[in-house]
Amino acid sequence: MTDPPNILLIMSDQHAPNLLGCYGDPLVRTPNLDRLATEGMRFTNAYCPFLQERSAMETPFAAVTGFLLPHCPYIGPKAAFDYYFDRVPTTPEAGGEPDCIQALYKWRNLDPPATAHQLRVARAAYYAMIEYVDMNIGRILDVLDQSGQAENTLVIYCSDHGEMLGEHNLWSKKCFYEHSARIPLIARMPGVTTPGNECAALCSLLDLAPTFAELADAAPMDTDGKSLFPLFHGDGNPGRVITSEVADMNGGSFEWLGKMVRKGDWKLWQHHRTEDDTSFPPALFNLADDPNETCNLAANPEHTATRDELLAQIEQDWNPSAVAAEVKQQLHDWRVLCQWGKIVQPLHPDTYVWPGEETEADIELISLQKPKQK
Calculate mean pLDDT across residues 156-184. Answer: 94
Model pLDDT for residues 208-226, shown as the tens digit of each residue: 999 999 999 998 888 889 9
Q: Are 300 and 286 in contact (CB under 8 A)?
A: no
Distance between CA atoms of residues 211 and 213, nearest Å: 5
Cβ burial, residue 358 (10 Å; 0-12/13-18/19+): exposed
User: What span, in angstroms and rounded, lies between the C-alpha atoms of 272 and 278?
Assistant: 6
DSSP 3-state of 298:
coil
Per-residue CA distances from 108 to 104, 112, 118, 166 (Å): 6, 11, 16, 13
Q: State the burial class of residue 350 (Cβ atoms within 10 Å of its Cβ: 0-12, 13-18, 19+).
A: exposed
Distance CA 215, CA 217 (A): 5
The CA radius of gyration of the chain, in Å to the nearest whole number, is 21
Residue ranges with strand state E in 76-228? 153-159, 182-188, 197-199, 203-204
Give, in order, the Cα–Cα distances in Å from 43 to each of 77, 188, 244, 281.
29, 11, 17, 31
Residue pair 306/284 in contact by the 8 Å Cβ criterion: yes
Q: How confident is the model at residue 9 (pLDDT cuts 50, 70, 90)?
A: very high
Stretch (H or E) spanning 242? strand 241-248
Phi, psi of 63 (to 5 degrees): -115, 140
Query: Judging by beta carbons within 10 Å of its beta carbon (0-12, 13-18, 19+), is residue 91 exposed, middle or buried?
Result: exposed
Residue 254, phi then psi, degrees to nearest 5: -135, 115
**Which pLDDT tens digit goes with each residue over 278-309?**
899 999 999 999 999 999 999 999 999 999 99
Residue 311: strand, helix, or coil: helix
Question: Quick one: pLDDT band at residue 354, thresholds 50, 70, 90?
Answer: low
Query: Do 266 and 287 contact (CB within 8 A), yes or no?
Result: yes
Q: Provide the CA 339 distance to its chain's centre, in angstroms.
A: 30
341 residue type, one letter:
G
Closest to 160 (Cα-Cα) out of 181, 136, 132: 181
Residue-wise pLDDT for 73-121, tens only, equals 999 999 999 999 999 999 888 878 999 998 888 877 888 888 999 999 9
> For residues 340 and 123, which has the higher predicted lDDT (pLDDT)?
123
Q: Are 126 and 163 in contact (CB under 8 A)?
A: yes
Cβ atoms of 229 and 210 within 8 Å: the answer is no
CA distance 159 to 10: 8
Q: What is the pLDDT of residue 355?
A: 59
Query: Among 204, 186, 200, which residue's Cα sits nearest to residue 40?
Result: 186
Q: Which residues contact 224 (CB under 8 A, 6 or more apart)?
A: 49, 206
pLDDT at 275: 80
> What CATH number labels 6-360?
3.40.720.10
